[in-house]
C-alpha cells in the first residue's frame, strides 16, 4: 500500500469533514483567547477576565446532554437527517449568539457579554458532539484516519482564523484604543465565516449508519427530564449558600468545587427520580451514565482512583497559566498585532510540531514515558514565563518563550490523548472518552477562573512559578501509577 496516496483525503466526505472541522474550531478562541483581549481593552479587571474561562465548563459537561442528541429527533428539521438537523441548529445558534455578543459592550454591561459567551460555548459544545458522531458514522474504521486528518486540518485553520485572524482584524480596525465598534466588526465577521459550516452541513450526506429508533414518547420524556435536571443544576449553583466567606484563594476554590459537585449530584438525582417514577427508562439511563463508569472501575479496580486523579491534574499547569497569557502580553506592553502573529499564528504551528513529536515519542518509547516527559516540559515552560515577566519587553524573548511553551503544550497534549484513548473500553468508547475529557478540564478550569486574583495577590513572576509547581505532583503520580501497574502485572 502506498502511504503517500492522498486520494482518501480528497473524497467528498473528507472535504466536507474539513469544513465541519473549521466550523468546530472557529468559536473556541472567540470565547477564550480573543475575548480576553477584548475584555482587557474594555477595562475589565484581570480577576474578572479570567472568570470567563468558566464558560469552558460547557465543554466539560457536554456528556450530560450527549444522550439527548443521540436519541431526540428535532421536529421538522429531522427531515434532512438526524445528525444534519442537530448540526444545522447548533451552527445557527452559534451565529446568533456571536452576533448577540458583538452587540454588547463589556465596558458598560458585562452581564450581557457573559450571557452571549456562555450561550456560544453551549452551542459550540453541542456542535462538537454531533460532528464526532457524524464522523464516526460516516465511514468505516479503515477510512476514519482520512476523515480525522481532514477534520483536524480544518480545525487548525479555524483556530488560526479566530485566533490570529480576529486579532489582526481588531488591530486593523484600531483596537489599541478601545472602541466597541472594533470588536463588533470582528465578531460579526467571524459569525459570517460560520456560514462555511452551515453550507457544509446542507450539502453533506446524512450518515447511512443509523441509531436504533426510539419511541417518540421516550425521546420527549428524556428531553423534559434532561432540561429539568440542567435547570436544577444551575439553580443550585446560583443559589447555593457561600461555603467559605474568607478571602482565601484556597478556600474559595474548595468552596466552588464543593458547590459544583453538589449541584452536579443534584442533577443526577433529578434524573434518577424520573427513572423511579418510570417517566424515563432506567435501562437507558444506566447505559448512558452508569455502566461506562462501572466498567472503568471494574477494569482498573483500586488503581482507578489514582488514574482519575492523574486525568484531573495532568493539564493543570498548562491550563491555569494559559488563561493569563494574553492578559500578561498586553500588560507587559506587547501590541495586539504582535500577539496575533507570534502567539496565535506561529505559536499554533509550534503546537502542531509539538503534537507530532509527542505522538512519535509515544509510539517509540511508550505512553507512560511520553506522559512523564510531557508533564516535565509543560510545567518547566512556565518558569520561562516567570523569566519573561522580569525581563525587558523584547520580541525575541517573547518568540523564544512562546515557541518552547507551545511545543511543550503540543507534546503533552498529544501524549495525554494517547493515554486517554488507551483507557477506554471498546463498549463505551465515546461516553468514557467524554467523561475523561470532562474530568481533565474540570479542576484546571475551576482554578484558572481565579488566576487573575492570584496575580493580583502575588504578581506575575510568582504566579508563573506557582503554576509550574502545580505540575510537580503530576510527575510523582505518573511514577506511582507506573509502579503499581508493574507490580500488578508481575
CA pair distance 228, 222, nearest whole angstrom? 10
Nearest to 447 by CA among 53, 105, 11: 53
DSSP 49: H
When pLDDT is averaged across residues 36-56 and rounded to a whole number, the result is 87
Tell me: do 203 and 246 sit in the same domain: no
Average pLDDT of span 364-380: 89
- The confidence band for 397, taking pLDDT boundaries of 50, 70 and 90, is very high
Q: What is the pLDDT of residues 296-311, one digit of tens each?
A: 888 888 888 888 889 8
Residue 440 lies in a domain: yes
Q: Are residues 192 and 222 in the same domain?
A: no
- Does residue 164 sit in the same domain as residue 188? yes
Residues 446/439, Cβ–Cβ less than 8 Å: no
Q: Name the CA dihedral angle for 55, 61, 66, 68, rounded to a multiple of 10 degrees.
A: -80
C-alpha to C-alpha distance for 307 and 487, rounded to whole angstroms: 16
pLDDT value at 72 more than 90: no
- DSSP string over 26-38: HHHHHTTHHHHHH
Rounded Cα distance, 391 and 400, in Å: 13
Query: Which of residues 184, 209, 234 is at a domain's end?
Result: 209
Which candidate, 85, 57, 80, places its Cα nearest to that of 70?
A: 85
How far apart CA 155 and CA 161 sit, in angstroms, is 10
| Domain shared by 312 and 433, yes or no | yes
Last-in-domain residue among 166, 193, 209: 209
Question: For 36-58, what is the mean pLDDT?
Answer: 86
pLDDT of residue 3: 42
Average pLDDT, the chain: 82
How far apart CA 468 and CA 187 sit, in angstroms, is 34
**Helix, strand, or coil (residue 398):** helix
Range of the domain at 192: 9-209
Q: What is the pLDDT of residue 4?
A: 46
User: For 107-111, 128-132, 150-154, 203-207, which range has the lowest pLDDT when averaged over its residues?
Assistant: 150-154
Per the listing, cell 462501572 goes with 294
| Predicted local distance difference test score (pLDDT) of residue 415 | 83
3-state secondary structure of 173: coil
CA distance linking residue 152 with residue 248, whole number of Å: 41
The per-residue pLDDT for 428 is 62
Question: Of 133, 196, 144, 180, which is closest to residue 38 (Cα–Cα)?
Answer: 180
| pLDDT level of residue 15 (50, 70, 90 thresholds) | confident
End position of a domain, from candidates 166, 182, 209: 209
| Average pLDDT of the segment spanning 339-350 | 87
- pLDDT mean over 436-450: 80
The answer to whether residue 401 sits within a structural domain is: yes
Burial 350-369 (b: 16+ CB within 10 A, else e): bbbebbebbbebbeeeebbe
Q: Are residues 271 and 294 in the same domain?
A: no
Asked if residue 295 lies in contact with residue 484, where contact means CB atoms within 8 angstroms, the answer is: no
Number of domains in the chain: 3
Same domain for 222 and 325, yes or no, is no
- Residue whose C-alpha is closest to residue 446's, from 32, 116, 51, 33: 51
Q: Please check the confidence at residue 36 and state whether its pLDDT lies above 50.
A: yes
**Confidence at 92, pLDDT banded by 50, 70, 90:** very high
Per residue in 182-238, pLDDT (tens digit) is 999 999 999 999 999 999 999 888 877 554 444 455 566 776 887 788 788 777 766
Q: Is residue 285 part of a domain?
A: no
Regarding whether 385 and 333 lie in a shared domain, the answer is yes
Same-domain check for residues 43 and 160: yes
pLDDT at 348 over 70: yes
Q: Would residue 263 count as lying in a domain?
A: yes
Residues 314 and 255 both lie in one domain = no
**Residue 2 belongs to some domain of the structure:** no
pLDDT at 458 over 80: yes
Contact indicator for 281, 218 with CB cutoff of 8 Å: yes
Q: How far apart are the C-alpha atoms of 450 and 46, rounded to whole Å?
A: 10
> Does residue 3 fall inside a structural domain?
no
Domain containing residue 326: CATH number:
1.20.1250.20
Residue 241, pLDDT score? 63
**Cell (9 digits) for 446:** 475551576
Q: Which three cell numbers stand for residue 141?
A: 474504521
Quick one: the chain helix, strand, coil %, rounded to 5? 85, 0, 15
Classify residue 138: in a domain, yes or no: yes
Residue 237 CB partners (closer than 8 Å, separation 6+): 259, 260, 263
How far does Cα 80 stand from its chain's mean position? 29
Residue 487 in this model has a pLDDT that exceeds 70: no
Q: Is 185 strand, coil or helix?
A: helix
92 with 218, same domain: the answer is: no
Q: Could you tell me if residue 390 is inside a domain?
A: yes
Which range in 220-229, 260-269, 395-404, 476-485 is most confidently predicted, on average pLDDT?
Answer: 395-404
**pLDDT of amino acid 224:** 80
Q: What is the DSSP letter of 211?
A: P
CA-to-CA separations, 224 to 231, 236, 271, 283, in angstroms, rounded: 11, 18, 10, 17
Q: Do 75 and 110 fall within a single domain?
A: yes
Grade residue 138 by pLDDT with cuts at 50, 70 and 90.
Answer: confident
Q: Judge if 31 and 160 occupy the same domain.
A: yes
Amino acid at each position: 500500500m502506498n502511504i503517500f496516496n492522498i486520494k482518501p483525503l480528497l473524497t467528498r466526505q473528507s472535504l466536507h469533514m474539513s469544513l465541519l472541522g473549521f466550523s468546530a474550531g472557529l468559536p473556541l478562541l472567540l470565547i477564550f483567547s480573543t475575548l480576553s483581549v477584548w475584555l482587557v481593552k474594555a477595562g475589565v479587571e484581570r480577576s474578572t477576565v479570567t472568570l470567563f474561562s468558566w464558560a469552558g465548563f460547557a465543554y466539560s459537561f457536554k456528556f450530560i446532554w450527549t444522550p439527548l442528541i443521540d436519541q431526540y429527533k428535532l421536529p421538522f428539521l429531522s427531515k434532512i437527517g438526524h445528525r444534519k438537523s442537530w448540526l444545522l441548529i447548533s451552527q445557527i445558534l452559534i451565529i446568533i449568539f456571536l452576533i448577540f455578543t458583538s452587540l454588547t459592550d463589556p465596558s458598560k454591561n458585562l452581564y450581557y457579554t457573559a450571557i452571549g459567551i456562555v450561550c456560544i460555548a453551549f452551542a459550540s459544545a453541542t456542535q462538537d458532539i454531533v460532528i464526532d458522531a457524524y464522523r464516526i458514522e460516516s465511514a468505516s474504521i479503515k477510512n476514519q484516519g482520512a476523515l480525522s486528518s481532514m477534520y483536524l486540518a480544518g480545525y487548525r485553520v479555524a483556530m488560526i482564523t479566530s485566533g490570529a485572524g480576529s486579532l489582526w482584524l481588531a488591530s486593523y480596525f484600531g483596537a489599541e484604543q478601545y472602541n466597541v465598534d472594533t470588536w463588533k466588526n470582528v465578531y460579526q465577521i467571524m459569525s459570517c465565516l460560520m456560514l462555511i459550516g452551515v453550507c457544509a452541513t446542507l450539502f453533506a450526506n446524512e450518515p447511512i449508519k443509523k441509531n436504533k429508533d426510539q419511541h417518540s414518547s421516550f425521546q420527549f420524556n428524556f428531553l423534559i427530564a434532561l432540561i429539568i435536571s440542567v435547570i436544577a443544576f444551575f439553580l443550585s449553583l446560583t443559589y447555593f449558600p457561600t461555603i467559605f466567606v474568607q478571602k482565601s484563594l484556597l478556600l474559595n476554590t474548595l468552596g466552588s468545587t464543593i458547590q459544583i459537585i453538589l449541584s452536579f449530584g443534584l442533577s443526577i438525582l433529578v434524573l434518577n427520580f424520573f427513572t423511579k417514577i418510570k417517566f424515563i427508562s432506567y435501562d437507558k439511563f444506566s447505559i448512558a451514565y452508569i455502566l461506562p463508569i462501572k466498567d472503568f472501575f471494574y477494569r482498573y479496580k483500586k488503581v482507578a482512583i489514582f488514574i482519575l486523579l492523574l486525568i484531573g491534574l495532568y493539564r493543570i499547569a498548562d491550563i491555569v497559566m494559559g488563561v493569563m497569557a494574553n492578559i500578561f502580553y498586553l500588560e507587559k506592553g506587547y501590541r495586539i498585532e504582535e500577539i496575533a502573529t507570534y502567539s496565535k499564528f506561529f505559536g499554533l504551528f509550534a503546537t502542531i510540531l509539538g503534537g507530532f513529536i509527542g505522538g512519535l515519542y509515544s509510539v517509540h518509547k511508550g505512553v507512560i514515558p511520553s506522559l512523564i516527559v510531557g508533564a516535565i516540559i509543560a510545567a518547566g515552560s512556565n518558569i520561562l514565563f516567570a523569566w519573561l515577566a522580569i525581563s525587558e519587553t523584547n520580541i525575541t524573548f517573547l518568540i523564544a518563550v512562546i515557541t518552547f511553551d507551545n511545543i511543550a503544550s503540543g507534546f503533552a497534549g498529544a501524549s495525554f490523548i494517547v493515554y486517554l484513548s488507551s483507557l477506554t473500553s471498546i463498549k463505551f468508547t465515546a461516553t468514557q472518552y467524554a467523561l475523561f475529557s470532562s474530568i481533565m478540564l474540570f479542576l484546571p478550569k475551576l482554578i484558572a477562573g481565579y488566576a487573575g486574583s492570584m496575580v493580583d495577590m502575588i504578581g506575575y513572576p510568582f504566579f508563573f512559578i506557582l503554576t509550574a509547581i502545580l505540575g510537580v505532583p503530576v510527575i510523582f503520580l505518573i511514577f506511582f501509577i507506573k509502579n503499581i501497574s508493574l507490580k500488578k502485572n508481575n
